[in-house]
Structure 1
Amino acid sequence: MAKPLGQLHEEKVFKDPVHRYIHVRDELIWKLIGTREFQRLRRVRQLGTTYLTFHGAEHSRFSHSLGVYEITRRIMDIFHGRDQWDDSERLLVLSAALLHDVGHGPFSHSFEKVFGVDHEEFSRDIITGDTEVNSILRLMGDDFPHKVADVIAKTYPNKLVVSLISSQIDADRMDYLLRDAYFTGVSYGNFDIERILRVMRPTEDGVVIKSSGMHAVEDYIMSRYQMYWQVYFHPVTRSAEVILSRILHRAKELYEDGYVFRESLTHFESLFKGNISLEDYIRLDEGVMQHYFLLWQDERDEILSDLCRRFMNRKLFKYVDMVSISDIHELYKLFEEAGLNPKYYLIMDSSSDLPYDFYRPGEKEERLPINLLKPNGEIRELSRESDVVEAISGKRRTDHKLYFPSELIEAMDDENVKQKIKNILYK
């Protein structure tokens, strides 16, 4: 077995707008950053279609992954020498922090829904498969890649290690809130990360927060709440996602029907067949996707062509709050009567978020709570101490919208059908 990697002769730094500097001292981390699989993340946006709403949101999963690593590295420095923390797991945690998003595909969530792929599975496949990432990780031991994959999958036996990467107050969430707020130009996602890091403490069951830092955590929880509803679930962004998903659905449907595309589908064929290999997946990024969208603007199929033009030129669908189910059925009939395919031009979309929850054993998507450490050593769940957090705990908020091309409705020849559609949509 090769000699495990050690410290770099000289610290490497990345200038970062959120954390000022990202420090790399370990040879392992430096080599992982240089792999083709990690460098690919430069070509995958952190916020998918959000750049069509907030024009500054062009940042990548590469920069976010470095940020998660940096926050985790700082936590490791705080935990060093404390009871309940084993420094021998330091590189394991740092590797998992760096690689937690390495399997994200282009326009991540829309892409996953259409093709039934899971970025977490691909993250684990990249870590344990025949990749540059795996070859670097194995320098730390043959079982090291599987340990990293287990941390990301939340199956690693050390709960403290897992909680640093995946919990209700982890390095991942802290970075994306701050980073996404910075690049979208909003103030909602800002919170006092310095204070939170200073009051974090390791325990056998996960990270706890000293009770003196409760108000900083309240601010963090509310920042997350605001970011989801003001940025992540913005209805204009969702309109772009709706069109993107319909482009992919249409292209897949045409392929399955034997439609002959003007250009070869080199990067999409295995996806459409449902047997995409790891290598094919790694070759996909947002530049590749947009290349096809540009080409598909000139396809003979009018629906695919129109949807691609809309996406590439930001001619998005309008939206209204969801109407009744009976009205939806009526709209479907009216759209068909007017020659508009409702499958592609009348789209229902829902967004839902649970900003904070306490532990509910046995329920789907169990959430480990944020625990406070009292001066007397007692551990108390956050919502039991905070009136602010208690007010939103366990309360899921959902928003339903109906998306449609308003200009195509206005252009309808049949005035009677047009008016019926508008009466339902705008009543």
Structure 2
Amino acid sequence: MRSPVLNRSGPRRLALVVLTALAAVIAGLVVARPASAQENPYERGPDPTVQSVAAQRGTFATASVNVGAGHGFKSGVIYYPTDTGQGTFGAIAVVPGYTATWAAEGAWMGHWLASFGFVVIGIDTNSTTDWDDARGAQLLAALDYLTGQSPVRDRVDPNRLGVMGHSMGGGGAINAAMNRPSLQAAIPFAPASFSQNMSNVHVPTMIMGARDDGTVTHSALTTLYNSKPATTEAAYVSLTGGGHGFSTWGNTEVTRRVIPWLKIWIDNDTRYTRFMCPALADTTGVASYSHTCGFEPGGTGEPTEGGQILGAASNRCIDVPGTTNGTQAQLWDCSAQRSGQTWIRTTAGELRVNGKCLDAEGAGTVDGTRAIVWDCHGGANQRWNVNADGTITNAQSGKCLDADSRGTANGTRIILWTCNGGTNQRWALR
């Protein structure tokens, strides 16, 4: 009987199989990382958990610098991540409430927010009795200083900014969002919004209040929340307790909602959407929650396609004969030599030409609103749906791009009008 022959290649082959399988597992783990980690240039920090968003400290080391008077507000403190290896950070301006100071009311949140990857400027107002509109103007002045003159301006992305405030300062945050629709997020705490409601706010806004607040009541905040446009991304978190001053101390019931909101809208970080949609992942201390989920940030506005926009009735192109804000869009003979006919459609729903965005003038929603160009700011009046039936509708109003009075001649104005199926409302991107 012959002795069995030892196959010396067997162990080697087995090792090769094991190594190959292990490599496949590792490759699968790499591929399985969330797409946002590869595609979102604004993502900062590790993958979040319910515990991490409720923490009093994030993962970034922080520092601070004082700001003196002379910049449109009384004084302030800037808090910032010391990390310089991950690019720029989004930023938030924060203002305290009526008669309050930053040191007494808001300073607790400065290093906390910065440790999660934001630059923060907390301010004192020119007068502690400044009204909500004055506080809104000072929040915007603080952001302008932060991005244009401050010693940390090179750490800040000027296109990713937000505002927060408490009480009269919360009303200030609403005022700032109303007056600067390019902001990416607003968080008013128990807002005393006496000079305005939210009917002209298009910035993603999360109201927070306490059900036992006798100063700014749950009923008042519900009315305020319901005044927002239907197209505005928003949420209203009503806490079970804490009174009017719930946000003026290191309250984790605040932190676990604020961090996801800022990350979603300022950093376009969809890793945090699950904490807010389709419901709160952590309902600790929450009496009620209203929202407009699903909270899909607009992205970076990267171009997807470009070309001319041809009118079905006129066989002429939508043309912008200038580059200044307010220039009227019109019909004109199609020509590859006219730069005002080269439109770029972006992932954010914009239609861009010569570096400007097609804009429903004054955020108008009525028939006859002019279609103009304006500096891009991310507002709903600058977002457009290109539909399968050839219409182009405004995201804010739902109205159609229309060649005025069914005109077909050069110079015919482009306006918004109720969609009616006319050929003067049908367009082809080519």
Query: What TM-score range do you get, normalising by the shorter chain?
Result: under 0.3
Q: Which has the higher contact order (CA 8 A, sep 6+)?
A: 1
Tell me the TM-score normalized by structure 1: 0.27
As a proportion of its length, which structure holds more helix?
Answer: 1
> Of the two, which has the highest radius of gyration?
2
As a proportion of its length, which structure holds more strand?
Answer: 2
Tell me the TM-score normalized by structure 2: 0.27
